[in-house]
Amino acid sequence: MNPFASNIRRALGVKAGDFERLEMVRKHLDDHGRNLIPACALRCHQELIDQFIQMLENVETTVAHVNDLVDVASEIARYQIVNDLPHVVKCGADALIADIDWSEQSDLTILSGPATGADAISLTRAFAGASETGTLFVASGPDNPVTLSFLPETNIILIRARDIVGCYEDAWLKLPWGARGPQMPRTVNLISGPSRTADIEQTLITGAHGPRRLHVIIVG
């Protein structure tokens, strides 16, 4: 018996087992009810993708849209050359990333595993993207070790166009669901841009403790 709960009941002047209250809470949890969804999240898919890109570009993120998975490797190589970055990426065991064909990029080193302080560039995969704010949903796990999202200076995130949805609520639906809600991994990271701070004199600086560069590749 949780002593806080009984204290709260005393403060609220209610009894344990009050059927109406229990029903109310059960219903609220079981309904998966949505609150108001902003109109900007209810557009057609193409508009949602455009908005998604726009929102990300507003927060110092670069975005590339490629037609097919076969184009990803060359896009990464291009990005590294343009930004004068080492030709290496570290990634997890994500199935989509595993399907990337690196054969044409012979000088690109692919490492796998969680990030260490020494890794410069990570490649992760977002299971969903919310167009309303240009937000990538990345689930931690063996597919995407969480440190990959935060330790390297450059983070490249891969997302399938069809995983771009309007609102956060739709993004949650892309997780595997159980009876009461999504089965949560250790962390779901909602990422909207490279790390930043305005803690010194309100001056916005990109690249605080996390990545200084974020590049998003939309596939499909």
Partner 1 sequence: MKSTARSFKENARQALKNQRLQKSLKVMGRGFVEKRAKARAALPEFDALCQQGQAIKTHTLEHLDLYLEVYEKQLAASGGHLHLAQTAQQACQQILQICRNSNARLVTKGKSMVAEEIGLNEHLEEAGLRVVETDLGEYIIQLRKEPPSHIVAPAVHVGADQVEADFRRVHQNLPPNRNLSDPAALVFEARNMLRHEFINADIGITGANFLVAQTGTSVIVTNEGNGDLTQSLAPVHIVIASIDKLVPTLNDASTLIRVLARSATGQSITTYTTFSTGPRRPQDLDGPQQYHVVLLDNGRTEQLAGDFSDALRCIRCGACMNHCPVYQSIGGHAYGWVYPGPIGAVLNPSFLGLEETADLPNASTLCGRCEEVCPMGIKLPDLMRKWREKHHAAGGPPAMVRTSLTAWAFVAKRPWLYQLLTGMMMPLLAKFAGRKHHFRWLPLASGWTTSRDLPAPSGKTFMSLLKKHQREGRL
Residues 65-124 that bind partner 1 (CB under 8 A): 92, 113-115, 117
Among 80, 135, 152, 165, binds partner 1 (CB under 8 A): 135
Residue number with CB closer to partner 1 (70 or 93): 93
CB atoms within 10 A of CB 111: 15
Strand partners, 219: 66, 160
CB atoms within 10 A of CB 26: 10
Question: At 104, which amino acid appears?
Answer: E
> Is residue 165 a contact point for partner 1 (CB under 8 A)?
no
Residue number with CB closer to partner 1 (67 or 83): 83
CB of 33 to partner 1, least distance (A): 7
> Is residue 33 a contact point for partner 1 (CB under 8 A)?
yes
Chain center to CA of 63: 14
Among 21, 43, 65, 174, binds partner 1 (CB under 8 A): 21
Q: Which one of 45-53, 64-72, 121-129, 206-214 is the stretch in contact with partner 1 (CB under 8 A)? A: 206-214
CB of 144 to partner 1, least distance (A): 10
Among 70, 142, 162, 176, binds partner 1 (CB under 8 A): 142
Site size for partner 1, by CB under 8 A? Answer: 79
Q: Are strands 128-130 and 135-139 parallel, antiparallel or unpaired?
A: antiparallel
The DSSP-derived string for 44-100 is -HHHHHHHHHHHHHHTT-EEEEESSGGGHHHHHHHHHHHTT--SEEEE---HHHHT-
Q: Which one of 27-35, 44-52, 66-74, 82-90 is the stretch in contact with partner 1 (CB under 8 A)? A: 27-35
Chain center to CA of 102: 24
